[in-house]
Structure 1
């Protein structure tokens, strides 16, 4: 803000218990793993921020792509990312969105709530028995264990292969969210399942390593 608008703001706040301060540079929105993303009235969750040859991007669930091409970080907000590629159903459930502003601050972290974050340093394959955590915009942070690999799920929309099966609960809106481990490894992207976070259930996740390879992206 500058010129007449800045002068008006100073005049309006003069003598009041308000601090007005200019911040250098251009401010931009950023989002972290597990945060909500919106398109066409639908809400999903951001899986992981990634780097592509054209700039920063977002990995989320492929079935979320049905909601629209343009995605925002707030309900009804200005779109900040565009769908570039999606797979669902078939050989996975993943989508790549790219930030419209190549200078967007897109940290490789998962927002676990309460001002806490987990830094994501790498992508790693799931292992049966491994303790994992899942962050989503509906139910927040939950943990469990990997119970199977290369699972096939018959959704109403079609069959999806190559998924990770876990005991971590999830609910609608958590789709696309982050499955990760305590050592900072990105493991999966929330796909679907049965049950809820009150009674428990079975959930399935798209392996991050497979999705990154398919969209030519990387963590960090």
Structure 2
């Protein structure tokens, strides 16, 4: 049985200051008027936007929702990724990167930008790094994770201060194309978001004298059986969970972990789980807004890189940020390496693990796995990162259906 505690949190450096985003969903690209005023206010505050800037961003978000796939298809093999980007004048645009040398015209709000490496090439380089794990190896000490960074057109390997040589050796041993890989020095290794402090969420009481807290993700069903998804490191199959009505108060039993996936230290895997909820309880297809207004879950359309998302958790409440990268491999400070996480600038704290990431239009994105930085102090800042486990692989792994209010 795993035991969880709090770990210190400090942030990562921002790789691309112009890369700025906000959550979007292709099937839910409605007007900005459909977004609750409380959600708009939270986005403006946490993303540092004026009302006019947020409105202009939402137009670009809808443009991305409608045209992203077509623009990628038009580039063919030359496609090098797309993302929403904030320009120096504070406005936003959709950037489509291409390795093609031919002159191309773009629609209003879209920039075609030349790149050296195609998206397929970058993905292949990252896959080489991942192969080290699939062949039984592990991330060396000092190497904290790696991901495809679209704005910089590179694969980024995150290393601790003074650990650059460890990163160089790891890249060389993997056989990845060194021309497409670069190092990023970070202040702190990401850690799991479970701690012994209070807030809204759920608790485990394994009988060792401690209570262990996490946050509910999204309501789901397996056939007629109700439940919710959360992080795998929050508990093992069979463990009972209790509602937390107030800080560290053990409330009524609400269910038990039905299945959980999380690797042991030194191993590699996913970080997801689902909890079967007792029939006496009711699951609502909403995400709690902690005073910012609840958000109805309308679907699970995946947002693009550069899109804005908000997350909800028992410790830090409702926080917003942007998606920086997808499919990141993260090596946690406790020794576990997690695959296929999405990297965001939203802040989080210990105990927020398992909590919901959702777009302003109500599209469920995933559950918090871990992060670095803190929600204390001024937001946004350059030091905060959170990593979430995408929702769709969880639903597929356990044959679950997302409960929506649509």
| Shorter-chain TM-score tier | 0.7 to 0.9
Give the match for residue 219 of structure 1: 402
Give the match for residue 80 of structure 1: 254
Give the match for residue 327 of structure 2: 150
Give the match for residue 10 of structure 1: none
Of 169, 173, 185, the residue aligned with 2:347 is: 169
Number of matched residues?
186
TM superposition outliers: structure 1 runs of 4+ over 3 Å = none
* CA distance, structure 1, for counterparts of residue 345 and residue 292 of structure 2: 26
Contact 1:85 1:97 in 2 (8 A): yes
Kindly provide the CA deviation profile for residues 70-115 of structure 1, in whole angstroms up to 9, marking residues without a partner as x.
01112322311110101113332111000121x5310110010227
Bigger share in helix? 2
Of 60, 63, 66, the residue aligned with 2:233 is: 63
CA separation of 1:192/1:186 partners in 2, compared to 1, >3 Å: closer, same or farther?
same
Secondary structure at 1:209 match in 2: helix
Of 190, 205, 219, the residue aligned with 1:49 is: 219
Of 204, 220, 234, the residue aligned with 1:39 is: 204
Secondary structure at 2:311 match in 1: strand
Deviation at 1:62, TM superposition (A): 0.5
CA separation of 1:216/1:180 partners in 2, compared to 1, >3 Å: closer, same or farther?
same
* CA distance, structure 2, for counterparts of residue 194 and residue 113 of structure 1: 22
Of 281, 294, 297, the residue aligned with 1:117 is: 294
Deviation at 1:68, TM superposition (A): 7.3
TM-score (norm 1): 0.79
> What are the ranges of 5 or more consecutive residues in structure 1 without an aligned counterpart?
1-33
* CA distance, structure 1, for counterparts of residue 238 and residue 359 of structure 2: 30
* CA distance, structure 2, for counterparts of residue 202 and residue 116 of structure 1: 24
Deviation at 1:179, TM superposition (A): 0.3
> What are the ranges of 5 or more consecutive residues in structure 2 without an aligned counterpart?
1-198, 206-210, 378-382
Secondary structure at 1:213 match in 2: helix
Give the match for residue 278 of structure 2: 100
Contact 1:121 1:219 in 2 (8 A): no
CA radius of gyration, larger in? 2
Bigger share in strand? 1
CA separation of 1:107/1:94 partners in 2, compared to 1, >3 Å: closer, same or farther?
same
TM-score (norm 2): 0.44
* CA distance, structure 2, for counterparts of residue 68 and residue 196 of structure 1: 32
The CA RMSD over aligned residues, in Å, is 1.9
